[in-house]
Copies of this chain bind each other. A is one copy, B any other.
Amino acid sequence: MTKPVTSAELDQRSKLHEVFALPQGRALDICFKLQTAILEHKLTPGLKLSEDEVGEIYGASRTVVRASLQALAHSGLVAMEKNRGAFVAKPSIREAHEVFQARALIEPAVARLAADVITDRQLAQLHAHLDAEHAALHSGDMGKALFLSGNFHTEIADIADHRVFAGMIRSLISRSSLIIALYWKRSDTACESHSHHALMNAFEKHDGAAAEKIQKSHIVDLHSGLDLKEKPAGGTSLNEALRG
């Protein structure tokens, strides 16, 4: 019951390559693995990503690790400090607000675009995605559930077939994942919310206006589900988080 996930992951990977100007060759692998780990909350915000350590784990030289970290820095998942190294990004409260403001502007517009052009095949794929998300959630794998929940949004952007918006949304979703890791308030994982299903409904009817409206309120809802107060930092070890 954990298998339907794989195809979604591979999908995500190829799309990443398409949208961002990502590093080439081996660096892309590392980039993707680190990103997945961060998005599944295996790596907590603020964690140091030592070049030597990452390189040793993935069997690569510092040169290529450096390229990966730089790429992730550009997408907002990693913060680099001069002469101090790379860390999993720890979005500030201010950035949290800004990210969700941006999402509230862009994603509804993109949902509208998607509703107009979505095909039956894509509808089925989205349904499958929701099933996988549901399964992950009920199997207790919070990390993967959140990862998939984010992917749902990027898939909509891909359906809208607008690469510029898709790239923006991808970056925003990534950062949202970190923000949720830091500031999520409600114990009920609201991403299981009915918003995604309501959206599916609008898509099936090709009702762009409805999709836009639903998406907007969904994001406003997510935003208001955050508890934007200062939190103390966590400091796990990298090896212990990734080696598994």
Copies in the complex: 2
In the complex with contacts A105-B105, A106-B106, A74-B164 CB distance below 8 A: no
The residue among A70, A75, A163 with the most chain B CB atoms within 10 A of its own CB is A70
> A70 contacts which of B23, B76, B98, B109 (Cβ < 8 Å)?
B23
Q: Cβ of A25: which chain B residues have Cβ within 8 Å of it?
A: 82
Contact A20 B74 (CB under 8 A): yes
A165 contacts across to B, CB distance below 8 A: 98, 101-102
* Residue in B21, B78, B83, B109 whose beta carbon sits within 8 Å of that of A74 in the complex: B21
| Total A residues in contact with B, Cβ cutoff 8 Å | 32
Give per-residue flags for A68-111: 1 if the beta carbon is below 8 A from chain B beta carbons, else 0: 00110111101110110000000000010011011001100100
A21 touches B98 (CB 8 A): no
A101 and B164 in contact (CB under 8 A), knowing A71-B70, A71-B74? Answer: yes
Interface residue from B95, B162, B163 paired with A163 (Cβ < 8 Å)? B95
A237: B residues at CB distance < 8 A: none
Closest B residue to A74 by beta carbon equals B74
Chain A binding surface, main DSSP class: helix
Tell me the nearest residue of chain B to A20, going by C-beta: B74
Cβ–Cβ contact B82 & A24, under 8 A: yes
For residue A109, which residue of chain B has the nearest CB?
B105
Establish whether residues A98 and B163, one from each chain, have CB atoms under 8 Å apart when the complex forms.
yes
A67 within 8 A of B: yes
Which 5 residue pairs across A and B have the least CB separation, nearest first?
A21-B73, A74-B74, A98-B164, A24-B82, A102-B164
